[in-house]
Chain A
Amino acid sequence: MSIKIALPKGRLLAETNALLSQAGWGLGGYHEKARLYRLRSEAFPGLSAKIFNERDIPVQVAIGNYDLGICGLDWVDELLVKYPSSTMVTVRDLGYGEGALHTVGSNLGRAISSLEEVCSRTDVIRIASEYPNLAESWALKLRLKRFSIFSLWGGAEAYPPEGAELALIPGRRGQKLFGYGLVSWDEVKSYRAVLIANRDSWETKGLGRLQASLEDVLASGDWCPPPAEVTGASLANKPYLSRETDEGVVWLALPDGHQQQPTVSLLNKAGIQIDDYPSASGNRRPVANLDGVAVKVIRPQDMPLQVANGNFDLAITGRDWIREHLYQFPSSPVAELLDLKFGRVKLVAVISQGVAVSDIEGLRRLSEGQPKPLRVASEYVNIADKYARDNHLGMYRIVPTWGASEAFLPEDADLLIENTQTGRTLAKHNLKIIDTLGESSACLIGNSRGVFSDAKKARMDAIVSALRTVVEGV
């Protein structure tokens, strides 16, 4: 009988790998630099594994694509708090990867003095988090009178106090102080790595032998997980401008991740120097050599929403993410100010080479007679949803993913909406492009309905025209 397990990338990988190695699972190729995401066990015939972003794992196990999964309990709870009738069981606490989710606020700027104050306030309390369901549940439990949850791709610690009153972020148990002057107001829940199972698989598939092999290791005195990656590392308080002190400050959002290098070189050519960006320590508040300009480093995916809400005046993101945002919120005031002409990618519809159709019409016809819905995986859930509607895909489901989406085809999705630069990664995963939805490149965005003081407007114009000079050569 085939058994499939979903294994995590990132923070839990080293310890999980050590555990599975000691348990003799023989999953070669499970390491941080893994380029192929599918693994086969040498010891247990029929056992295969796939590497996922941790956040995807509870979803994949709950919908039955995987029998077992290993991930943090925080991500399990994030799913279960919203979908309590989910068909997932937590089999065992694995003892490593310990941490805690904290609700943090800033003790600088527009400070909050106590949790009671948060509960009694009648204006909107904004909570930024990668854990939107847990954040909402926390807000309801505390009976917050009015709140907004900013569901983020990452970097929540950069938001308070200007972009949000609170952030729900991971840290250590008992941790009181966080970077950027943040303090923990409430330790919401602690977590460790857990083994989870799909309930049907657990009841019918005889997974006991695999569990027993883990029990042997965990119970033995030899089991000593490698030192854990430190999460929620305290960063020194960096000085930064507060909105209260100067209404004329221009807030500029710069991307983290792989767009940092081209962003820096563009900024430098425009005469803008940013100290500590890209940052070896993950500093999200670097300092620019421009008076009255404050910089934060956040995920490009999160930028359009933040610009729409006035938390940033200018941001460097991708056109794909503006499109994604505008498909969700057509009346949003976010507008592209300047094409920055780097990071060019195509947005494409992709299927497995093994599917004998060559275009979306063919896929639609193929799926018409099927009893199961067509699974459309994408990081761009709104673009994917619109694409499915526009092409009359009939019964379909969007499977949201958090990266490495190309590994979802063919077993965990039927169609993928993805970006590609050269198409090489797709080809390597035995995938083919059946449609192109458009092109994307980096761009500078702003708020078309923002009202700015003359001084601020002048600062923003200076940045835009300096960048324009570089990209347009005028």
Chain B
Amino acid sequence: MMVERCKGCRDLSPEEMGRFRFIEGAFRDCCLGWGFSEVKTPTLEYLHLFTATGTLTPAMLGKVYSFLDWDGWSGQRVVLRPDGTIPLARFYIDNMAGKGLAKLFYVTNIFRFEETGTEARERWQGGVELIGVASPLADVALISMALEAMSRFGVKGVELRLSHAGVIRSLLAKLRLSLREQARILDQILDGDSEALARLKSERPRLGKALTSLLDLKGESSGVLKEARATFSQSFPEIESHMDNLISIVDLLGAMGYRYQIDIASGRGFEYYTGVIFQLFVGEDKVGGGGRYDALIPLMGGGDIPASGFALYFDHLMDLVAPVASCRGKTQRILIRATSEDIKRGFDIARRLREAGYVTELQLEDQGPTDARWFLELQAEAPVYVVTDLVKHQKLELGTADELMRLLGEGDVNQDSLT
């Protein structure tokens, strides 16, 4: 039989799982600390959940894993969840409608086909959704929360890039393109074609120079935005509210001392976004992103509920965190050897030790005591407990389990010096 891992899928080794759990734990602690509650949604959802809003691009939808379920004779397809936010919005509509503000987070895998098989088709992310609030302060709080999580992971050099879906959409509307053309360009931007806007400018040289300069808008302070707003306040009033929204977010970020880059034309993956879009980069690696999606819940029939959120990409972050950060200290590992006659006593003492916070392993066959601090041998006759400190190379003989617990407790006092 040929053993083969599914193309585009990844195993996580014990070492990688250590880093994964560290990130997951730090992310959960951060979210709980901000007063958010964890939820989980199913791996399978109906395909129409993702098509119904009309927000996801055909190219993205063409990469979902969809199939007919065992009862799918009506042609209703199910998908392996390709996204975290839409299922959360469904969860809100299903379970929390009418309850107003919801602060939710999740850790989940998402599935999207990737053609070459060299990148992951199953990815892991932690996501946060703040549902029921529309203020710039809410957006800033989410950005601050994402950056705090990054700092809890110990990830350095995180760059914050900002754009605004409302600004991009009003620009496309202003360019007097046909509806079909608008949709095409928008899809290209959403699918990550950063040249789409540049091509548009060269194809349509008659587009106002001033207008297209908006597309190139870049900067590190709200000054450039304020300037642009002043320039367009007469000729392009539709953009004003979006610019004001972005300016107030940027000003708040500035007041809090955050550094950021404004880059209006960057928009990959902002499919359902309507307001600010923020992306987190470490070097060229995008490690997270989010934004405001006020139209999503209304489009899904959940009423006029604004929302914003973000996701952090655990697969990318795993390569950026220190490998040992999550491992439990060696001081708490104990290898136990018990003969078959003593097996009950062996299991009993092992359970008592685990309850006291130790990691206990029963010696199986010829397993050597390689990564344990302590080696405990159970004997039929006195002394019934023989403990070896494998760091200090000391052997102690004990008569009762209580003595053993006391001894190990004293060992713990010195654990810092032993690791």
Could you tell me which A residues sit within 8 Å of B by CB distance? 84-85, 122, 124, 126, 137, 139-141, 143-150, 305, 308-309, 325, 328-332, 368, 371, 394-395
B49 to chain A: closest residue by CB: A146
A308 to chain B: closest residue by CB: B73
Return chain B residues, CB-CB under 8 Å to A395: 1-2
Give the contacting residue for A146; candidates B51, B72, B116; CB below 8 A.
Answer: B51
Give 19 pairs: A residue, B residue, CB < 8 Å, sorted on A. A84-B115, A85-B116, A122-B52, A124-B48, A126-B75, A140-B51, A143-B51, A143-B183, A145-B52, A149-B75, A150-B75, A305-B73, A309-B75, A328-B70, A328-B73, A329-B72, A329-B73, A330-B70, A331-B70
B339 in the interface (beta carbon within 8 A) = no
A305 to B74, alpha carbons, bound, how many Å?
Answer: 8
Return chain B residues, CB-CB under 8 Å to A147: 48, 51
B54 in the interface (beta carbon within 8 A) = yes
Q: Is the CB of A332 within 8 A of B51?
A: no
B46 to chain A: closest residue by CB: A146
A323 to B116, alpha carbons, bound, how many Å?
Answer: 38
Closest 7 CB pairs of A and B: A148-B75, A329-B73, A146-B48, A140-B58, A143-B54, A308-B73, A141-B58
Q: Is the CB of B71 within 8 A of A331?
A: yes
Return chain B residues, CB-CB under 8 Å to A143: 51, 54, 58, 183
A331 to B52, alpha carbons, bound, how many Å?
Answer: 26
B155 in the interface (beta carbon within 8 A) = no
Q: Is the CB of B115 within 8 A of A85?
A: yes
A340 to B183, alpha carbons, bound, how many Å?
Answer: 54
A124 to B75, alpha carbons, bound, how many Å?
Answer: 10
A310 to chain B: closest residue by CB: B74
Give the contacting residue for B74; candidates A141, A148, A371; CB below 8 A.
Answer: A148
Q: Is the CB of A148 within 8 A of B71?
A: no
Give the contacting residue for B61; candidates A140, A150, A305; CB below 8 A.
Answer: A140
Q: Taking A85-B115, A330-B70 as contacts, is the C-beta distance between A145 and B48 under 8 angstroms?
A: yes
A163 to B70, alpha carbons, bound, how many Å?
Answer: 22
B114 to chain A: closest residue by CB: A85
Return chain B residues, CB-CB under 8 Å to A124: 48, 76
Q: Is the CB of B68 within 8 A of A328?
A: yes
Return chain A residues, CB-CB under 8 Å to B357: none
B62 in the interface (beta carbon within 8 A) = yes
A148 to B51, alpha carbons, bound, how many Å?
Answer: 12
Separation in Å of the A233 CB from the closest CB of chain B? 28
B53 to chain A: closest residue by CB: A145
A145 to B68, alpha carbons, bound, how many Å?
Answer: 18
A147 to B48, alpha carbons, bound, how many Å?
Answer: 7
Known A85-B116, A126-B75, A137-B62; 11 more pairs at CB < 8 Å:
A124-B76, A140-B58, A143-B51, A143-B183, A145-B52, A147-B51, A148-B74, A329-B73, A330-B71, A331-B70, A331-B71
Separation in Å of the A371 CB from the closest CB of chain B? 6
Separation in Å of the A306 CB from the closest CB of chain B? 10
A368 to B53, alpha carbons, bound, how many Å?
Answer: 49
Return chain A residues, CB-CB under 8 Å to B2: 371, 395
Name the prevailing secondary structure of the B interface residues. loop
Return chain B residues, CB-CB under 8 Å to A149: 75
Return chain B residues, CB-CB under 8 Å to A146: 48, 51-52
Return chain B residues, CB-CB under 8 Å to A84: 115
A304 to chain B: closest residue by CB: B73
A144 to chain B: closest residue by CB: B51
Return chain A residues, CB-CB under 8 Å to B48: 124, 145-147
Q: Is the CB of B73 within 8 A of A332?
A: yes
B179 to chain A: closest residue by CB: A116
Q: Is the CB of B1 within 8 A of A145?
A: no
* Binary flags per residue of B99-116, CB closer than 8 Å to A gives 1, else 0: 000000000000000011
Separation in Å of the B300 CB from the closest CB of chain A? 11
Return chain B residues, CB-CB under 8 Å to A150: 75
B183 to chain A: closest residue by CB: A143
Return chain A residues, CB-CB under 8 Å to B116: 85
A325 to B53, alpha carbons, bound, how many Å?
Answer: 32
A232 to B377, alpha carbons, bound, how many Å?
Answer: 85
A124 to B74, alpha carbons, bound, how many Å?
Answer: 10
Q: Is the CB of A329 within 8 A of B51?
A: no
Instruction: Tell me the chain B residues, 31-53 only, with Cβ under 8 Å from chain A.
Output: 48, 51-53
Q: Is the CB of B74 within 8 A of A309?
A: yes
Return chain A residues, CB-CB under 8 Å to B52: 122, 145-146
A81 to chain B: closest residue by CB: B62
Return chain B residues, CB-CB under 8 Å to A145: 48, 51-54
A149 to B75, alpha carbons, bound, how many Å?
Answer: 6
A138 to chain B: closest residue by CB: B58
Q: Is the CB of A329 within 8 A of B71?
A: yes
Q: Is the CB of A148 within 8 A of B1?
A: no
Return chain A residues, CB-CB under 8 Å to B70: 328-331
B59 to chain A: closest residue by CB: A140
Return chain A residues, CB-CB under 8 Å to B72: 329
Separation in Å of the A386 CB from the closest CB of chain B? 12
A309 to B2, alpha carbons, bound, how many Å?
Answer: 41
Return chain A residues, CB-CB under 8 Å to B115: 84-85
Separation in Å of the A194 CB from the closest CB of chain B? 23
Return chain A residues, CB-CB under 8 Å to B51: 139-140, 143-147
B116 to chain A: closest residue by CB: A85
A119 to chain B: closest residue by CB: B54
A29 to B73, alpha carbons, bound, how many Å?
Answer: 42
* Binary flags per residue of B69-84, CB closer than 8 Å to A gives 1, else 0: 0111111110000000
A143 to B62, alpha carbons, bound, how many Å?
Answer: 11
A132 to chain B: closest residue by CB: B75
A332 to B76, alpha carbons, bound, how many Å?
Answer: 13
A309 to chain B: closest residue by CB: B74
Separation in Å of the A344 CB from the closest CB of chain B? 27
A147 to B61, alpha carbons, bound, how many Å?
Answer: 13
Q: Taking A140-B61, A145-B48 as contacts, is the C-beta distance between A394 and B54 under 8 angstroms?
A: no
Separation in Å of the B118 CB from the closest CB of chain A? 12
Separation in Å of the A129 CB from the closest CB of chain B? 11
Return chain A residues, CB-CB under 8 Å to B75: 126, 148-150, 309
Return chain A residues, CB-CB under 8 Å to B53: 145
A140 to B72, alpha carbons, bound, how many Å?
Answer: 19
A309 to B73, alpha carbons, bound, how many Å?
Answer: 7
Separation in Å of the A382 CB from the closest CB of chain B? 11
A328 to B183, alpha carbons, bound, how many Å?
Answer: 38
B54 to chain A: closest residue by CB: A143
A169 to B71, alpha carbons, bound, how many Å?
Answer: 27
Most buried by B among A85, A140, A332: A140
A142 to chain B: closest residue by CB: B58
A328 to B52, alpha carbons, bound, how many Å?
Answer: 26
A199 to B73, alpha carbons, bound, how many Å?
Answer: 36
A308 to B71, alpha carbons, bound, how many Å?
Answer: 11
Return chain A residues, CB-CB under 8 Å to B71: 329-332
Q: Is the CB of A148 within 8 A of B76?
A: yes
A368 to chain B: closest residue by CB: B1
A368 to B62, alpha carbons, bound, how many Å?
Answer: 36
A325 to chain B: closest residue by CB: B73
Return chain B residues, CB-CB under 8 Å to A141: 58
A394 to B52, alpha carbons, bound, how many Å?
Answer: 40
Return chain B residues, CB-CB under 8 Å to A325: 73
A331 to B76, alpha carbons, bound, how many Å?
Answer: 14
A328 to B75, alpha carbons, bound, how many Å?
Answer: 12
Separation in Å of the B114 CB from the closest CB of chain A? 10
A371 to B295, alpha carbons, bound, how many Å?
Answer: 53
A147 to B70, alpha carbons, bound, how many Å?
Answer: 18
Separation in Å of the B106 CB from the closest CB of chain A? 25
